[in-house]
């Protein structure tokens, strides 16, 4: 008896191809754009969002064709989470019912510092994640963000930002992780692992070069060499693609040497897909495709712009239908663009929808948070979904605490129990001082004053009053963040003189496009503290009472006289809803600070652009009168305990260009309280075929030690970590002398070990080793 071979099961790719064959051209294109909607505040119909760059869309006209994406149903206007989920559910059901093929849409939201929805946890901003030097903690946060989004029907999050800070004047420093590509890559990969583990699509941005804009201006041209691109700006994307496995990526607004990235096939297809093997979707930054025509001037009209973006490798137009409407249809019908290009983008879009379960016959529009609920009783649903539960707040507190950097301490901290505390400064009693520009309250909530803020955010004044119940706490602002007023300074001086200690809260106000002092489009001409804050600082330093300066900012600022005269300086970067209690805990000593600077703090306000990751000629020298040295360098941070570093050794003084060297060092807590040391490994390449940075971070480990405890750290470092872009543009590992440094910061490297690389020049690629491996013998 002969057995018939069973038919092979259809694969998702087969299913996608079969589905594409059924779609008309108009239906294909409909899967490649979104609409910007706001969930109905009463759980009813969504409302299309109007913007300067787009007209209000007609859902009755669009939905029969289907729909690719739903833009920010929770992040456009305040809405109760449960009612917003019902509103999104109803839209999804309508899309399925009214379109010929019943394909649900992907709903996306911002999630840079938490799910950008009313009532959702406002975590510290990404530059605070970098300050923690703790990828595992950031992964836990991202998992919770993803779970919250997925619970209400959101499929994709527009984060993380992997732009490496090149100029601290840039307004989006707060959204970035730091000025070092290795730190950005490791923290960014942790975020992606967390959010993807929750089933939500992570979106890397902004690919690539956005942060290297001239003079730190938002959306300004970028003119960098291929080595800065390959060795500084691209490595975080490489690392996160390999270590985090994200499923989407967003282009940068800028042009690189005259080529807008939204139309750069060499980046979006040749590098990203052909060389790196990325098989996810590429979504446009908001309105970036239209900008090819309206801002860059590289497209004659919107149809030309749409064709250029699709050819380059963009799959989806966000935030709403614009160029991928009639202009794109006209371009295809006139022969400007082949339909095969549409099919390629559509294949990636539908494959991702299949991975999300949106093409499953049993798919349901009901999200997990509404499962089993009576969806018709909207009043009973109101207030039943908690997007800021205790577990979220605990993680937010932990990140805030670990992201606080103690820059200076003459012994005044911890404070103990002072009888009288004067809390002065424009950020002392403002809950928004804790939040970055992409938090929901700052990004959207401020436009809706009739709505409450939605989450509990203790101010620094609130937190200090609670932290020091036996102290008399007084407060006065002295000035505003950026108004320049000085008439409140005399009262601030009197308050200072009447106190035992002054806590002076300075910093930024987050806001977009010049509506704040930090954030997207809120760039700085100089790195002076905004407004009259420096005048207030100097006046209080001269008043005679010890001054503890607390920075609540989105970028580092030159701190002038405070560097040498303040009793203490505490730097935080928009530490989120739990930031106030976290700072209070550091000041009281309840929390031992363990943060390290992810960006250098400048000594002067005008020595920019400058980061620690610089060639010899970018540092202080005898041929320029400008000294760009930092007041506090990348990686710096103090503790309330002391650590002793000893016994640095290399197992070998010579390895091949394809080898691995084991280094070791002993770290001992010689203080009287538990604390964390961040052990940083820097590479110095004294002679290379091209100019190299003086120091470059290649690994780090945060080590928690009890008093008297020692960690015997061993780190295996592959020669691949010494690779760089050579003269011919290829990435190489070059023979020669290397110096590995165990550093407390980029400016304090007490232990060095010399190792010789031997053998031939070796070419490496995307599959090269990216990390050292650690063990601590405990």
Average pLDDT value for the chain: 95
pLDDT in tens, 133-144: 999 999 999 999
Q: Would the pLDDT of 58 be above 90?
A: no
β-pair partners for 602: 630
Q: Would the pLDDT of 681 be above 80?
A: yes
Q: Across residues 507-513, what is the average pLDDT?
A: 95
End-to-end CA distance of the chain: 64
User: How far is residue 346 CA from its own chain's centroid?
Assistant: 29
How far apart, in whole angstroms, are the C-alpha atoms of residue 431 and residue 122? 11
For residues 360, 365, 370, 374, the Cα torsion angle rounded to the nearest 10 degrees is -120
Q: Would the pLDDT of 2 be above 70?
A: no
Q: Would the pLDDT of 1 be above 60?
A: no
> Would you state the pLDDT for residue 14?
76
Among residues 593, 679, 203, the alpha carbon closest in space to that of 413 is found at 593
How many other CB atoms are there within 10 angstroms of residue 444's CB atom? Answer: 22
DSSP state of 42: T
- Give percent above pLDDT 90 in the chain: 93
For residues 435, 437, 440, 443, the Cα torsion angle rounded to the nearest 10 degrees is 140
Q: pLDDT band at 55, cuts 50/70/90?
A: low
Query: SS3 for 420?
Result: strand
Q: pLDDT band at 607, cuts 50/70/90?
A: confident
Among residues 520, 515, 528, 550, the alpha carbon closest in space to that of 404 is found at 550
pTM of the model: 0.96
Q: pLDDT band at 51, cuts 50/70/90?
A: low
Query: SS3 for 5?
Result: coil
Tokens linked to 15: 């299913």
- Return the higher-pLDDT residue of 59 and 727: 727
Looking at the chain, how many residues does it have?
778
> Would you state the pLDDT for residue 7?
43
Q: pLDDT band at 53, cuts 50/70/90?
A: low
Among residues 472, 413, 465, 461, the alpha carbon closest in space to that of 433 is found at 461
pLDDT in tens, 443-480: 999 999 999 999 999 999 999 999 999 999 999 999 99
Spatial contact of 268 and 761, defined as CB atoms under 8 Å apart: no
Q: Would the pLDDT of 47 be above 90?
A: no
> Would you state the pLDDT for residue 5?
36
Burial of 64 (C-beta count, 10 Å sphere; 0-12/13-18/19+): middle
How far apart, in whole angstroms, are the C-alpha atoms of residue 56 and residue 34? 13
Q: Across residues 142-158, what is the average pLDDT?
A: 98
Largest CA distance in the chain: 102
Q: pLDDT band at 369, cuts 50/70/90?
A: very high
Strands (E) across 208-338 are located at 248-251, 255-256, 259-260, 281-283
In terms of DSSP H, where are the helices of 382-510? 390-402, 440-443, 460-467, 489-497
- Cα-Cα-Cα-Cα dihedral sign, residues 420, 424, 429, 435: negative
> Would you state the pLDDT for residue 610?
79
pLDDT in tens, 187-230: 999 999 999 999 999 999 999 999 999 999 999 999 999 999 99
């Amino acid at each position: 008896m002969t057995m018939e071979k069973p038919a092979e099961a259809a694969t998702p790719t087969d299913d996608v191809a079969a589905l594409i064959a059924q779609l008309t051209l108009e239906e294909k294109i409909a899967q490649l754009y979104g609409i910007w909607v706001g969930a109905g505040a009463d759980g009813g119909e969504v409302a299309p969002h109007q913007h300067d760059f787009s007209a209000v869309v007609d859902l009755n006209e669009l939905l029969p064709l289907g729909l690719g994406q739903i833009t920010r149903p929770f992040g456009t206007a305040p809405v109760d989470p449960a009612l917003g989920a019902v509103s999104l559910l109803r839209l999804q059901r309508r899309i399925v019912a009214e379109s010929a093929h019943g394909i649900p849409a992907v709903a996306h939201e911002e999630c840079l510092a938490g799910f950008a929805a009313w009532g959702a946890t406002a975590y510290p901003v990404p530059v605070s994640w970098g300050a923690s030097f703790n990828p595992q903690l950031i992964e836990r946060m991202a998992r919770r963000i993803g779970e919250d989004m997925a619970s209400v029907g959101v499929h994709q999050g527009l984060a993380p930002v992997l732009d490496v800070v090149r100029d601290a004047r840039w307004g989006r420093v707060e959204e970035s992780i730091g000025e070092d590509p290795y730190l950005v890559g490791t923290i960014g990969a942790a975020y992606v692992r967390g959010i993807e583990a929750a089933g939500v699509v992570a979106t890397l941005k902004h690919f690539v070069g956005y942060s290297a804009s001239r003079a730190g201006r938002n959306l300004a041209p970028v003119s960098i060499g291929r080595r800065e691109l390959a060795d500084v700006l691209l490595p975080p994307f490489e690392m996160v693609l390999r270590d985090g496995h994200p499923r989407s990526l967003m282009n940068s607004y800028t042009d690189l040497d005259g080529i807008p990235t939204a139309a750069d096939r060499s980046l979006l297809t040749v590098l990203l897909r052909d060389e790196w093997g990325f098989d996810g979707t590429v979504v446009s930054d908001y309105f970036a495709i239209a900008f090819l025509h309206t801002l860059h001037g590289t497209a004659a009209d919107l149809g030309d712009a749409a064709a250029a973006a699709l050819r380059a490798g963009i799959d989806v137009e966000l935030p709403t239908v614009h160029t991928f409407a009639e202009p794109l249809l006209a371009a295809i019908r006139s022969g400007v663009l082949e339909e095969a290009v549409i099919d390629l983008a559509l294949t990636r879009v539908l494959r991702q929808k299949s991975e999300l379960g949106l093409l499953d016959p049993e798919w349901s529009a009901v999200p997990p948070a509404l499962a089993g609920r009576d969806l018709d009783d909207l009043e009973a649903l109101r207030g039943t979904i908690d997007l800021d539960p205790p577990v979220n707040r605990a993680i937010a507190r932990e990140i805030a605490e670990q992201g606080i950097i103690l820059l200076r301490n003459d012994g005044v901290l911890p404070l103990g129990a002072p009888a009288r505390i004067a809390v002065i400064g424009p950020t002392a009693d403002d809950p928004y001082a804790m939040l970055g520009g992409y938090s929901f309250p700052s990004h959207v909530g401020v436009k809706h004053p009739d709505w409450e803020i939605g989450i509990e955010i203790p101010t620094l004044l609130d937190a200090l009053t609670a932290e020091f119940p036996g102290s008399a706490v007084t407060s006065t602002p002295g000035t505003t963040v950026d108004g320049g007023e000085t008439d409140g300074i005399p009262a601030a001086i009197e308050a200072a003189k009447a106190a035992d200690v002054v806590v002076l809260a300075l910093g930024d106000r987050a806001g977009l496009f010049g509506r704040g002092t930090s954030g997207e489009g809120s760039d700085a001409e100089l790195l002076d503290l905004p407004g009259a804050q420096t005048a207030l600082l100097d006046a209080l330093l001269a008043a005679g009472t010890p001054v503890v300066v607390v920075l609540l900012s989105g970028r580092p600022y030159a701190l002038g006289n405070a560097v040498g005269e303040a009793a203490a300086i505490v730097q935080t970067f928009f530490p989120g809803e739990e930031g106030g209690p976290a700072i209070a805990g550091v000041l009281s000593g309840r929390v031992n600070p363990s943060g390290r600077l992810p960006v250098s703090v400048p000594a002067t306000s005008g020595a920019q652009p400058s980061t620690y990751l610089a060639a010899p000629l970018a540092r202080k020298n005898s041929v320029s009168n400008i000294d760009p040295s930092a007041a506090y360098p990348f990686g710096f941070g103090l503790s309330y305990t002391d650590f002793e570093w000893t016994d640095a050794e290399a197992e070998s003084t010579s390895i091949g260009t394809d080898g691995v060297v084991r280094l070791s060092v002993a770290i001992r807590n010689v203080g009287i309280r538990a604390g964390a040391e961040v052990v940083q490994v820097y590479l110095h390449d004294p002679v290379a075929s091209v100019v190299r940075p003086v120091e470059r971070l290649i690994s780090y480990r945060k080590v928690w030690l009890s008093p008297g405890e020692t960690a015997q750290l061993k780190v295996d470092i592959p020669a691949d970590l010494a690779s760089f872009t050579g003269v011919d543009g290829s990435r190489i590992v070059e023979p020669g002398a290397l110096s590995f440094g165990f550093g407390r910061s980029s400016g304090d490297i007490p232990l060095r070990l010399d190792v010789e690389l031997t053998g031939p020049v070796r070419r490496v690629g995307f599959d090269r080793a990216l990390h050292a491996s650690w063990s601590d013998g405990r």
